[in-house]
Chain A
Amino acid sequence: MGIRREEVRHVAELARLELPEDELERVAAELSAVLDYVRALDRLDLEGCEPPSFASPLSPLREDRVDERRLAPGEALAMAPQADGSFFVVPPVVENLEP
């Protein structure tokens, strides 16, 4: 089962990856080769095999306490490609509809 150029373009958009037009064909071919290979799984008997649940035998919960990992004032913004003193700054966005 291969993957078409259009699908590669759609997936690149989902992944927010700029992909030059002239690379689409090559990427589609590479991904198709891998997707063909993984079809090996169709030959495997998966009767009764459910995705492993990663339930830990102990509770993975933490107590509701404030801890020491909070960054020092200014430390977060010091890493930012663009900031204005108190905020991270990005080109304008519309309202976030989630969560």
Chain B
Amino acid sequence: MALEAVIGLECHVQLRTRSKMFCGCPAEFGAEPNTNVCPVCLGLPGALPRPNRAAVAAGLRLGLAVGASIRLESVFARKNYFYPDVPKNYQITQYDRPLAEGGELPVALPGGTRRFELIRIHLEEDAGKSFHPERVGDRPVSRLDFNRAGVPLLELVTRPVFREPAECAAFLTVLRRLVRWLEISDGDMEKGHLRCDANVSLRRVGSEALGVKTELKNLNSIRGVERGLGAEIERQRRALAAGGEVEQATLLYDAEQDRLQVMRTKEQAHDYRYFPDPDLPALRVEPRWLEEVRAALPELPWARAARLEAAYGLPAYDANVLCEQRELADYFEGVVGAGAPPKAASNWIMTEVLRRLKEEALSVEAWRARMPAEWLARVVARVASGEATAMSGRAVLEEALRTGADPAAVFAARGVMVLRAPEELRPLVLEVLAEHPGPAAEYRAGKTKVLGFLVGQVMKRSGGTAAADVARRLLEAELAKPARSGGAAP
């Protein structure tokens, strides 16, 4: 019996606002425990919530970006359940009238682009943090910090459209890029800015009906999503294969131990007693505001990647890498705009720039402050035109970064950048062949691959100024001549 998995995701995006969802406490991360709290987010008697316009705007941005339909009058509801990190013992969320419904997220997969459909996007408040179990004296306890309580979240729910854990991972990668692109969240899963739960069931291939589903919580990294889902699908598959049934349950994935833990079964399911929050009037979005948000929306990452492909003739791979971050795509277009050929600019950014960003943990912004697009364009353009070799271009970039000088000045100070004249290069070629008789012999014996090594040696001797194509031609010519006996015994 062939089985397939049916997976739906619920993703929580922590918004990057100055203040919390319903009060004026800072929403920042990392303060001393229980200091970013006020009567509202601590749930003190008498306190009342008032929604944050910026959080609603973030919801509108995400909703519009995925093509969801925005509800001009949505409703905040109370989700009632007792839990110590939920200060009021209810969470303010949206229930039957969410901010946005429908929409889809296009995700590039190996087999082509899939458009994963969404059910809804709604606003809600985050819970505090509990640390457990810990000890006070000899008693085990939990400790509570309410700094995070009330920080705004967007919850995004997909249709059960995924069949493979890898699709879910790809979806999350795209979602993460999108929320960063829209500047509504830092999107860091490790820091909990992006959290994911999944509903999983198995069914016979070809069947339309859904099987009994389980809910998988706490998938807090993209790798965790793939592995946790893999483990749960395997668990269900084994249960069904053994003739058993899947029990409706909520499970927790422990990434460290790669283990699933049953938290709650059907009998323990909650009755949340949702009802409209009487402290909050319906959330009205004025059509004019919505249009303003729409107008201010940046070109979306998938649209931009398509445009980079079409307008600059870049391969899809390059366009996607450059659209990983909006700032990077901006930088690329800045470099091209300053005169660098597009493909060369893309190559330089994907290798030289991204490597340094990674090694030095730099943001694109910080990089840009040190190496403006116009500067990088000078390096790229000179190398592309053959006025400088790639190697000397890299050396100039290095020096410009080290000294803070304009690459144009570095080029000027270095003088001649390319040695093209055969009469100047030939002595270097001969020296290299004399010094490396082994590789030369190998070449003559048919292992032509060593030519690259020999070209590199010429380059090194020239201090990076040798034109690689000339050096190659000279080497080939020399190696085509019979090997000098050099007094070697017959």
Q: A65–B32 Cα gap in the complex (Å)?
A: 20
Query: Is A39's CB within 8 Å of the partner chain B?
Result: no
Count chain B CB atoms within 10 A of each CB in A55, A63, A71 and give the residue with the most. A71
Selecting from B50-58, B174-182, B396-404, B438-446, the interface stretch reads: B50-58
Q: A70-B24, A76-B37, A96-B127 are in contact. Are A89 and B144 (CB under 8 A)?
A: yes
Report the minimum CB–CB distance from A77 to chain B (whole Å): 6
Query: Is B9's CB within 8 Å of the partner chain A?
Result: no
Q: Which residue of B lies closest to A54 (CB)?
A: B281
Report the minimum CB–CB distance from A91 to chain B (whole Å): 6
Q: A61–B53 Cα gap in the complex (Å)?
A: 5
Chain A neighbourhood of B52, CB < 8 A:
61-62, 64
- The answer to whether B141 touches A92 (Cβ under 8 A) is yes
- The answer to whether A62 touches B26 (Cβ under 8 A) is no
Q: A73–B38 Cα gap in the complex (Å)?
A: 11
Query: Is B422's CB within 8 Å of the partner chain A?
Result: no
Chain A neighbourhood of B271, CB < 8 A:
14
Q: A63–B53 Cα gap in the complex (Å)?
A: 6
Q: A61-B52, A67-B19, A69-B24 are in contact. Are A97 and B250 (CB under 8 A)?
A: yes
Q: A61-B50, A87-B144 are in contact. Are A93 and B32 (CB under 8 A)?
A: no
Q: Which residue of B lies closest to A59 (CB)?
A: B284
Which of B19, B145, B273, B286 makes the CB contact (< 8 A) with A65? B19
Selecting from B79-87, B230-238, B478-486, the interface stretch reads: B79-87
Which of A60, A76, A88 makes the CB contact (< 8 A) with B143? A88
Report the minimum CB–CB distance from A55 to chain B (whole Å): 4
Query: Is B132's CB within 8 Å of the partner chain A?
Result: yes
Q: A60–B55 Cα gap in the complex (Å)?
A: 13
Q: A68–B218 Cα gap in the complex (Å)?
A: 34
Contact with A along B120-159 (1 / 0, CB 8 A): 0000111100111100100011111110000001010000
Report the minimum CB–CB distance from B148 to chain A (whole Å): 11
Q: A61–B141 Cα gap in the complex (Å)?
A: 38
Report the minimum CB–CB distance from A86 to chain B (whole Å): 4
Query: Is A46's CB within 8 Å of the partner chain B?
Result: no
Chain B neighbourhood of A63, CB < 8 A:
53-54
- The answer to whether B84 touches A90 (Cβ under 8 A) is yes
Chain B neighbourhood of A87, CB < 8 A:
33-34, 131, 143-145
Query: Is B66's CB within 8 Å of the partner chain A?
Result: no
Q: A87-B145, A89-B144 are in contact. Are A99 and B91 (CB under 8 A)?
A: yes
Count chain A CB atoms within 10 A of each CB in B18, B79, B281 and give the residue with the most. B281
| Interface residue SS majority, chain A | loop
Q: A73–B142 Cα gap in the complex (Å)?
A: 21
Query: Is B189's CB within 8 Å of the partner chain A?
Result: no
Report the minimum CB–CB distance from A35 to chain B (whole Å): 17
Chain B neighbourhood of A55, CB < 8 A:
73, 281-282, 284
Query: Is A98's CB within 8 Å of the partner chain B?
Result: yes
Nearest 10 A/B pairs, CB to CB: A67-B24, A64-B54, A87-B143, A55-B282, A56-B281, A92-B133, A88-B144, A69-B38, A61-B53, A86-B33
28 cross-chain CB contacts under 8 A? A51-B276, A55-B281, A55-B282, A55-B284, A61-B56, A64-B17, A64-B19, A69-B23, A69-B24, A70-B36, A76-B35, A76-B37, A87-B33, A87-B145, A88-B34, A88-B84, A88-B144, A88-B146, A92-B133, A94-B132, A94-B263, A95-B217, A96-B86, A96-B127, A97-B218, A97-B252, A98-B83, A98-B91
Give B contacts to A, CB under 8 Å.
12, 17-19, 23-26, 32-40, 42, 50-56, 73, 79, 81-86, 91, 93, 124-127, 130-133, 136, 140-146, 153, 155, 217-218, 250, 252, 263-264, 271, 273, 276, 278, 280-284, 286
